[in-house]
Amino acid sequence: MTVASLFAGIGGIELGFAQAGFQILWAIEKDHKCCLTYRHNHKEIPLIEADICNVDPHSLSTVDVIAAGFPCQPFSIAGRQRGFCDNRGNLFYEVIRFVQAIQPRVVFLENVQNLQEHDNGRTFITIHNALVESGYYIRYRVMRASEYGNVPQIRDRIYIVAFKDITDCDVFKFPDTIPLTVSIDNIINRHEEKNRVYYYQKNDLFFAKVREIVTDQSSIYRVYHESIKITQNHMCPTLTASMGMQRDQVPLVIDNYGIRKLTLRECLDFQGFPKDFYFPNTITIEDAYKQCGNTVCVPVVKRVAERIIKIMR
């Protein structure tokens, strides 16, 4: 069973599908820094580094599944929510162009939860109708990483699975919730000193405010536009691309050595990435944080992919 990935990022969707038993035939990504990380970790997958608008789908091999985490910022409540008025929002129609050209048996899409409510539901209806008009039957569900992936992160995402065959669609069921057995303490070792780049220093402008608020050593603190709030239920807050785009947006913890940001390794762990996945030394720490926030929760994708491959077989 074969898969191709559009807007591949650093390959989180591919990891989930590969772990479920799929073969990844090709992927497309235009961000050069993401491509550096992708090639560093997916050496066996042919990656096309290009603007998807300039790629002819007829020049590529056919696949059973097209997967796409198309740009979510235009639909996110954390952004301006300009939707299809944002050029990135219109990139969804590139997914449709590839689907219509390749005619895969299944289309897999992942995006922010707010996609369903954006523009009073009109955005989602547009996406739904575009898939239906292309000959597909739709199933979708909003799933949280902690409930469906056994990862202690508050990360709600909508997953859309579209089938060419109505029988496949009728048989398909999304996975059930599972108990959360992994805690933040399984990921964060507060007794181990990390690289000093992660710690707040006394001369940092933000230090006084951080020291006053970040006091609970058993929790993680969400930082958003200089607002610092403790995350409830001892969970990790949603990791976002803004971690690498704006100063001091990375979630905070206090350990035995001071107050610090989540490390890159911890961010990857909170997205369920394997331990052998890491960033090349050719990108900056800001690039890596952005990529951590933009990617997917791998175990959730894997569980959905397992349901898909069961039907396809």
Residue 129 exposed, middle or buried by CB count within 10 Å (0-12, 13-18, 19+): exposed
Taking the C-alpha atoms of residue 12 and residue 31, their distance in angstroms, rounded to an integer, is: 15
Measured CA distances, 39 to 24, 62, 126, 269 (Å): 14, 22, 34, 20
What are φ and ψ of residue 19, in 5° steps? -65, -25
CB distance 212 to 259 below 8 Å: no
Active-site annotation holds for 72: yes
Q: What are phi and psi of 179, to 5 degrees?
A: -65, 145
Q: Which residues make beta-bridge pairs with 236?
A: 153
Name the amino acid, one letter, at 181.
T
Question: Who contacts 165 (Cβ-Cβ below 8 Å, separation ≥6)?
Answer: 105, 137
From the list 36, 110, 68, 70, the residue with the least C-alpha distance to 278 is 36
72, 267, 292, 297: which is the annotated catalytic residue? 72
Give the Cα separation of 252 and 230 in Å (integer): 9
Catalytic residues: 72
